[in-house]
Amino acid sequence: MHRDESAASIGASIAVRDRGQFAVGLDNLTDFVRAHRTGLLRIVAVPVHQGRTGQLWTVEIAREDGAPVATGRVRLQNVDLTPDAP
């Protein structure tokens, strides 16, 4: 399950797209609390820090009844969409 990295990457990329950048994952630490086999999950990604070159996000994943499934921390780097030409 890499839903936490996807949620953070999408949020981080949206946050920097007006600057002509996108975000790429550098580090992902996920702690799984319980197994989940069926039903929907609620995923909430929240920025902790959004800087010029990097971002840090926390992600909480829970079942429909609110029981936690996983919690994660994702560090991302902001990268230019079009690299500087030599």
Q: Which residues are registered as beta bridge partners of 27?
A: 75
In the numeric block, the tokens 């197994």 are attached to: 35
Distance CA 60, CA 70 (A): 6
Query: HSE (CB half, 13 Å, CA atoms) of 34?
Result: 11
Whole-model pTM: value is: 0.87
* Domains in the chain with CATH codes: 3-80 (3.10.129.10)
Query: Average pLDDT over the chain, rounded to whole?
Result: 92
Which whole-number Å values give the CA distances from 14 to 4, 8, 36, in the listed order? 16, 10, 29
pLDDT digits (tens, 9 = 90+) for 19-61: 999 999 999 999 999 999 999 999 999 999 999 999 999 999 9
| Residue 1 pLDDT exceeds 50 | no
Band of the pLDDT at 2, cuts 50, 70, 90?
low
CA dihedral sign of residues 12, 14, 15, 19: positive
